[in-house]
Amino acid sequence: MKKRTLVSMITGALVIGAASTTFAAANPFSDVPADSWAYDAVSKLAADGVVNGYPDGTYQGGQTMTRYEMAQMVAKAMTKTDIDKADKALVDKLAAEFSEELDNLGVRVTDLEKKSDNVKWGGRLRYYYRGIKDDTAANQDRTNDTQYELRLEPKAFIGNSGWTANARIRYYSNAGSANNGGSVNDQNNNGGSDKSDTVVDRIFVEGPLFGADAKLGKVPTYSDNTFGTGMIIDSSISGAEFNWNLGKDNTNYAKATIGRYDYNANANVGVSNYAYDGTGDYAAFEIGHKAKDKGLSALASYYSLQNITPANGSNSFSRFAKADADKTNFWVGGLGYKFDKNVQLFGLYAKSDMDEAANYNGDDQSKAYDVTLKYKGADVTKPGSYDIYATYRYLGQFATIAPTYDISARDTKGWQIGVDYAVASNVMAMVEYYKGKRLSADYNGNDADYNAIYGRLDFFF
């Protein structure tokens, strides 16, 4: 049976046309503008015979279709394997665009992906600039760091088991020269080695286990699924992570992580006199409730590092553990409130039992907190969407492990403002500014200003 005939029989089963005023009145999705890339994409697929949009066999290109109608066509088209590469790439892109509508139709995008291709590639190309002025540094001039980063993230479906094999390959290079840049381990620190670097920093399998979404291998781990701060850690461990979505609408969750963590002294922004390096057994447990559109959100979590082995025989890590134990504990609590789908206020507080350096004169370094007010939400699939936020952060260097922040450094406190903006579909821009103080120097009138600016552009594929 010819490709056009087979697909026409399937897609011809659509019983709802764009001209149906009854459906349009009840349809909860907005119309897709006739000049959007999605409309043009479906037009091309129709012209190629991949979809025939209406029961009478015609494609009414002069009318605006609803997102729901387009999602129906995409769902049908993604089950086809006898289409050329260009049309298949277009169908995959449409599936990403209409993933929410496909889910509402009861069609899981991952199930369709399995039918269309056993291996799926994704990734990101990033360019960023970071400038830091630190009065406590030997060179008090502003340092400037510009970098390129390419991430490739292959995903392979393991039969019909519901499991996938995943990896992340990262290439890093200084923007000033093709062969001169900080290594991946130096990415959040100023300076670096005189070479580019490539590393596979994640390699794991993911699937259903013990009623959870399980990840096994060298897995990504991120603290705070509720507010998305990553205040304690944003890194990888060699071990396992289990995430249970709870409740009818999955607004509650529990997450457990266990494994071996390799802590690198260059993992955080800025240079600290008390940086430490080594490996340790890592464990974490987190529970949270995330308000959907309005209401209260909450977080409670616990993290630990034990059996710490300092790098290169150094005792620089263990000097900050409790004197009578090789285990360090971190506790975190957080509360937030969504006033509506656009405005959210939240705060987190963290405390560790790490000792501070002898004769330490600065602020309390065994605590950290973050208070943030956020407006709107940028969505990389929706050009023109944006968010604006303002936050106050206090990040004791003994209260966090490897936070995700780009310019808010451990051993600092201060104000930060930021903007995210979706420039185009799959293109996101960000600008951040931080004005603060070095905790380890902000006493007895010492100069301790720490100011930073950060900008980046991400291209997702």
Compute the half-sphere exposure of residue 62: CA atoms within 13 Å on the CB side of its CA: 0
When pLDDT is cut at 50, 70 and 90, the band that residue 191 belongs to is: very low
When pLDDT is cut at 50, 70 and 90, the band that residue 243 belongs to is: very high
How distant, in Å, are the alpha carbons of 269, 305, 352, 353, 367 from that of 356?
A: 20, 16, 11, 9, 11
When pLDDT is cut at 50, 70 and 90, the band that residue 130 belongs to is: very high
Indicate the residue type of 389.
Y
Reported pTM: 0.70
Span 250-256, average pLDDT = 92
For the chain, the three-class secondary structure string (H helix, E strand, C coil) is: CCHHHHHHHHHCCCCCCCCCHHHHHHCCCCECCCCCHHHHHHHHHHHCCCCCCCCCCCCCCCCCCEHHHHHHHHHHHCCCCCCCHHHHHHHHHHHHHCHHHHHHCCCCHHHHHHHHCCEEEEEEEEEEEEEEEECCCCCCCCEEEEEEEEEEEEEEEECCCCEEEEEEEEEEEECCECCECCCHHHCCCCCCCCCCEEEEEEEEEEEEECCEEEEEEEEEEECCCCCCCCCCEEEEEEEEEEEEEECCCCCEEEEEEEEEEEECCCCCCCCCCCCCCEEEEEEEEEEEECCCCCEEEEEEEEEEEEEEEEHHHCCCCHHHCCCCCCCEEEEEEEEEEECCCCEEEEEEEEEECCCCCCCCCCCCCCEEEEEEEEEECCCCCCCCCEEEEEEEEEECCCCCCECCCCCCCCCEEEEEEEEEEEEECCEEEEEEEEEEEECCCCCCCCCCEEEEEEEEEEEEC
- Higher-pLDDT residue of 252 and 264 is 252
Whether the per-residue pLDDT at 182 is higher than 60: the answer is no
β 427-438/367-376 pair status? unpaired
Whether the per-residue pLDDT at 93 is higher than 90: the answer is no
β 295-310/234-246 pair status? unpaired
- In the numeric block, which tokens belong to residue 289? 């409730």
Q: Residue 273 — left, alpha, or beta (φ > 0 → left; ψ -120 to 50 → alpha)?
A: alpha
- Domains of the chain in sequence order: 3-116 (no CATH), 122-460 (2.40.160.10)
List, for residues 205-215, the tens digit of each pLDDT value. Answer: 999 999 999 99
Whether the per-residue pLDDT at 271 is higher than 60: the answer is no
Paired with 107 in beta bridges are none
List, for residues 342-400, the tens digit of each pLDDT value. Answer: 999 999 999 998 766 555 666 788 899 999 999 999 999 899 999 999 999 999 888 88
